[in-house]
Structure 1
């Protein structure tokens, strides 16, 4: 768990590695997602060439406000890159946020997730995502227990703001 703006944020991550056998279950993944990371391997052009298909599929099956980040992985092998600046251009063309990472060295990996979570959080703050509708891929977890002063005057064990526990 990470803290953003003083709030604990927990991400649920599903990785299909772009494999076709998982394609039939993707609609349910996207329907309940607030964000997605589309990752390609910078030293394998074929993974980059499939991005258009995966992006269209994600957009077709998701909320139109879903945060999508494009990730070029294996930045530690940049000298072998088959996909030079094309990732940045693709991201610009499709309105995505772009960054390169290295799963091997850990470079920018955590940042990719944290920055995606921050962008989702900003959309929540702006009212773009309805936090009461879990179909947006956002679920509010247990809230911290209130202080005894908050319970003053409450009845039946319920807090002043409603709810129980």
Structure 2
């Protein structure tokens, strides 16, 4: 849950790690999604090269209003970088995506990526681009809170220390 302008917005996350075996499953998730995070590993060029295919799937199986953020992950591994930041920015610009680099290991920009995506979804709600009365659109408005209400400690407190699973993409 994130608090934007006093409104609670719930984010549901499906992580397929870019694996082809999940491709048919993710297509059904796109149908009800208001937003998607497309993540590639800045240290592995092949994950960046597959973005076009994943983006085509997302766009084909989702609402034209779906917010998509492109994320270059592992920004903490600058010395092993294989995809330049400028390449990610150019891809995002070319395809009308929001762009950010993150590090899941250090949590740098991770929460901001979710919040920025939620803010863009909320902006589209305010513009009337999403029908919030129909939960099939992937949006459920929670109880409203005053804008000054504290959301408490960071909701992103996973410890990624010691994880070195080379089979996942990001």
Q: Same fold (TM over 0.5)?
A: yes
Equivalences, count: 144
Greater share of residues in helix? 1
Counterparts of 1:27 and 1:80, CA distance in 2:
32
The root-mean-square deviation of aligned C-alpha atoms, in Å, is 1.3
Counterparts of 1:134 and 1:2, CA distance in 2:
18
Residues 8 and 142 in structure 2, CA contact (< 8 A), matched pair in contact too: no
TM-score (ref. length: structure 1): 0.83
Residues 7 and 142 in structure 2, CA contact (< 8 A), matched pair in contact too: no
The structure whose Rg is larger is: 1
> Are residue 82 (structure 1) and residue 82 (structure 2) matched?
yes
Further displaced range: 71-80 or 108-117: 71-80
Counterparts of 1:93 and 1:138, CA distance in 2:
27
Alignment of 1:1-165 (within 5 A): 1-84=1-84, 85-141=86-142
Further displaced range: 81-90 or 64-73: 81-90
Counterparts of 1:127 and 1:40, CA distance in 2:
31
Name stretches of at least 5 consecutive residues in structure 1 with no aligned partner: 145-165
Displacement of 1:45: 0.1
TM-score (ref. length: structure 2): 0.81
